[in-house]
Amino acid sequence: MESSVPQTAFHDFLVTDYPRIVGVVALTTGSRMAAEDAVHEALARAWERRNDIEYLNRWVLAVALNLARSRWRRLRREVLQKDPPDQPSVPAPEAMSPQLLNAVRELPARQREVVLLHYVLDKPIREIAQVTGLTEGGVKHALFRARQSLLNRLSPTEAPDAAHL
């Protein structure tokens, strides 16, 4: 990297924002490798446009999600019936609830993005709307539906093995 001020901002991003953004993009797409690729590519583009970017975090997140959606779409879009289905490549950490992971994966893509941006990245509704292209009302609606889906899926009446929650 060349310029001292952007270098500092980029370095800060790598230390503070990068891990969680990669994690969220990985959960969004189901592929950790695709997530890293998307975030790195977004960072490279951000470096080249650093004079035009106001909020590095938000810009990289938005571009990475765009790239990941596009890449994921390419991967999944035409699987002939004779081919085996793609396998998700997000490894399950020890502390993870497999049931929650499955529930998140089964959410519609837009709801999954919204719920992860809200709960994991602490993004406010307004910023989620900017990143996803939804209206603020649309974000609230998607968030409500995602939350309902997850809570219902994880409730003991429907999921007896979720007692640890």
Partner 1 sequence: MPLISEDQLESELRKLVIAHDRSPMAVEADVQRRVDRSRRRRRVAPWTAIAAMSLGAALVVVSRDQPAEVIAADDGAAFTPSPDSTGDLPTVDQIEIRTTRSGAQAIVTFTDVLTGQPTFTASIDSASPDLMQYTTQERSAVQVCGSVHTFNEDGFGSVDLLLPESQVRWDMSMTQPRPVYDDIDESSPIRGGKAVVCGPHAGFVQVSLWDLAPAEASQVSVTLSDDRRSLVVSVACPAPGDC
Which residue in 8, 109, 124, 161 binds partner 1 (CB under 8 A)? 109
CA distances from 89 to 43, 74, 92, 98 (A): 22, 16, 9, 14
Whether 114 contacts 132, CB under 8 Å = yes
Least distance between partner 1 and beta carbon 132 (Å):
5
Task: Retrieve residue 44's tokens.
Answer: 């490279």
144-163: contacts with partner 1 (CB under 8 A): 145, 147, 150-152, 154-157, 162
Using the structure block, give the residue that is written with the tokens 């603020």: 136
Which residue in 3, 8, 89, 135 binds partner 1 (CB under 8 A)? 135
31-50: contacts with partner 1 (CB under 8 A): 32, 36, 40-41, 43-45, 47-49
In the DSSP assignment, the letter for residue 121 is S
Asked if 17 interacts with partner 1 (CB under 8 A), we say: no
Which residue in 31, 114, 123, 127 binds partner 1 (CB under 8 A)? 114
Asked if 27 interacts with partner 1 (CB under 8 A), we say: yes
| C-alpha neighbours within 13 Å on the C-beta side of residue 100 | 14
